Structure 1
Amino acid sequence: MAKNSEPPVVSASEAGRAALAHLEELTSKTAQGVTSVEPTEDGWTVEIEVVEDRRIPSSADMLALYEVEIDMEGNLLAYRRTRRYGRGSSDIGGARAGT
């Protein structure tokens, strides 16, 4: 039986750092941090929280979650915004109204 997928060459922490760098370069947005890193057959899926719109006071900032796909070498495959919400919002995992 042939082996279809090999373990990723980059570690989870390296994938997170690579995803952050790619996303900040492409969007010019300030990343707050990595919220999840998950292995896939082709590499890694990394979720990153980003400040979309700074407001005064900062508790009114608009944030977003981006999903970034990284290959086994840390190269960007794809990215997409999955959610947008206010910093003070308590229900980012619920209904996706306004995304």
Structure 2
Amino acid sequence: MARQQETPHRKPEHDGDPPELSAPEAAETALDEIAKLTGRDTVGATSVEPTDDGWRVEIEVVEERRIPSTSDLMALYQVDLDLGGELLAYRRTQRYARGRSGLGNGAS
């Protein structure tokens, strides 16, 4: 008997209902999507919050590596996912040097 394979980021569907992600699954899915879309290294999720139709996740990304690494150019991306984990939208919200304190002062 063939066993149905589940994707690692989604819960199985039941009776036609869309699969619903947990917060950790939404963060992992968003990390994977941003890495694929930008081709850049992701550092991690900095926030995960539910929305009316899914999840909004903020991802920290290394935009440009520099020497020393404390001067790497970093970015924050906002990712919107639906309840099934499909990407709805993404955008870069901030850019800043890794060693710089006060994210609000970074270049956009």
After TM superposition, which residue ranges in structure 1, 4 or more long, deviate above 4 angstroms? none
| Matches of 1:95 and 1:55, distance apart in 2 | 20
Higher Cα Rg, which structure: 2
Return the letter of the residue paired with 2:29: A
Segments of 5+ residues of structure 2 without an aligned counterpart are 1-18
Identity %: 57
Q: Which has the higher contact order (CA 8 A, sep 6+)?
A: 1
TM score, norm. by length of structure 2: 0.80
Q: Which of 74, 82, 85 is 1:74 aligned to?
A: 85
Return the letter of the residue paired with 1:90: S
The Cα of 1:35 is off from its aligned counterpart by 0.2
The Cα of 1:9 is off from its aligned counterpart by 1.1
Segments of 5+ residues of structure 1 without an aligned counterpart are 1-7
C-alpha RMSD of the superposition: 1.2
| Matches of 2:31 and 2:105, distance apart in 1 | 26
Q: Does 1:84 align with 2:95?
A: yes
Q: Does 1:18 align with 2:42?
A: no
| Matches of 2:105 and 2:72, distance apart in 1 | 19
